[in-house]
Amino acid sequence: AEVSALDVIVGHTERSGRGVYAGRDFRQGEVVIHRAEPLVAHPTLRNLRTSCYHCLKPLAAVPRESRVPTHGGRAGGGAAGHFCGEPCAEAARATYHDAETAAGDAVAPLVAHCVQHGLKFPLAAARMAYAIAQGNADPRDADALVRVNFPRGVAPGAWLDEHAMIKLALARGDAVRGGAFGGRASEVTAEWYVGVVSRMHLNAFRVEIPPPAVGNRDDDTAGDGRHDCDGPGGSCDHHSHHSPAASSFKASLEAALASSETGDAAGTATYLAPSLFNHSCDPNVDVAWVGGDAGMRMRTRVDVPRGAELAMCYTDGGAPVDARRGALEHAYGFVCRCERCVEEGG
């Protein structure tokens, strides 16, 4: 539904699998997606004190008296956090934060684990789990996104440990609420968790809200350079739509386990429609956060004719071809053969 309302077509390409194509001619600078809302977003632990716990808006952009404290346990995900205002606080409570509040300090082991190992996706997955427990999310919400297909019975042991920590927090929350979750927490299975986290590794974006966006500036000069998405140092975490079937299992596993640093971004977010866009080292689409929060805008960098594939860059587009290819193969398990790479490196 999120794609059907746009002037684009989702199709398949022999090289990249699923992709997005222009349904009409686009002029340079036209908006392809005006505002994509995240399926889930979570601030980095480093930025709990500086970003809205729900929408990731810089708290410096709102008056101190407008901020609303979170209600996580002392060591919970929202321990020192704030919402940027009552609307975000209400939206969070209605979606996931009531379950998180009920869990209290039971989530502390997961938070400590994330702090120790520099992780961010377990907390985002926990947010989705709380929403499922509250009855406000479907366990299949992320199923449309590409994932690493682990062989049956194979999954990173740390991921299974993280799932157990989330289940413990959900059990505590359900007990505190007198069974209010109605058995929905049982849908948060280990298989669900492995699927969600592997999808986050391959699809999540680092949300980097540029300073000019603070104060609701709504122009796209703030988003210049969004094509330099180099994982830990760029605009997106791990974001790929290369078919896992086209890579070896080893490469896919490496992609799923690659860099999970918290970094300096406002947070991490996973989107549906933007995650359909394939990679090119010479992209024709830029992504930007121009509204001051986690809502993403996508705009054409050049004129794009009808039928052409729309693509963004997953790595540092200014790097030499060998560096780009190496980074992409390490992070996503594929050797880039876009027109630019073929021209520069064969």
Q: Is residue 278 one of the residues assigned to a domain?
A: yes
Q: Is the pLDDT of residue 168 over 60?
A: yes
77 and 190 assigned to the same domain:
yes
Domain boundary residue among 202, 234, 259?
202
Identify whether 31 is part of a domain.
yes
Which is nearest to 238 in space by CA: 199, 294, 280?
199
C-alpha span between 127 and 68 (Å, rounded) = 18
Confidence of residue 216 (pLDDT cuts 50, 70, 90): very low
Could you tell me the pTM of the whole model?
0.82
Angle at 268 between CA 249 and CA 195, to 5 degrees: 35
Domain membership of residue 303 as a residue range: 8-38+226-345
13 vs 304, higher pLDDT: 304
Regarding whether 197 and 50 lie in a shared domain, the answer is: yes
Four-CA torsion 313, 241, 1, 121, nearest 10 degrees: -90
**pLDDT for position 238:** 42
Output 260 or 117, whichever has higher pLDDT: 117
Question: In percent, how much of the chain has pLDDT > 90?
Answer: 60
Tell me the pLDDT band of 16, cut-offs 50, 70 and 90. Answer: low
Q: Give the mean model confidence (pLDDT) for residues 136-140.
A: 97
Q: What is the pLDDT of residues 181-192, one digit of tens each?
A: 999 999 999 999
Any residues with CB less than 8 A from the CB of 346 and at least 6 apart, and which?
none
Shared domain check, 181 and 131: yes
C-alpha distance from residue 112 to each of 63, 74, 107, 309, 337 (Å) = 31, 12, 9, 43, 41
Give the pLDDT of residue 222: 36
pLDDT of residue 201: 87
Mean pLDDT throughout 301-319? 93
Residue position matching structure tokens 């042991």:
157
Q: What is the pLDDT of residue 86?
A: 97
State the CATH number of the domain containing residue 256.
Answer: 2.170.270.10
Which segment of 55-69, 126-140, 257-271, 301-315 scores lowest on mean pLDDT?
A: 257-271
> Domain boundary residue among 202, 218, 249?
202
Name, in order, each residue with C-beta under 8 angstroms of 296's C-beta and a sequence gap of 6 or more: 33, 35, 36, 38, 205, 269, 271, 274, 287, 288, 289
141 plus 15 within the same structural domain: no
Give yes or no: residues 260 and 121 share one domain: no
- The residue that leads in pLDDT, 95 or 252, is 95
Residues 290 and 166 in one domain: no
Task: State the total domains in the chain.
Answer: 2
State both tokens at 96. 């996931």
- Which of residues 209 and 122 earns the better pLDDT score? 122
The mean pLDDT value for 220-246 works out to: 36
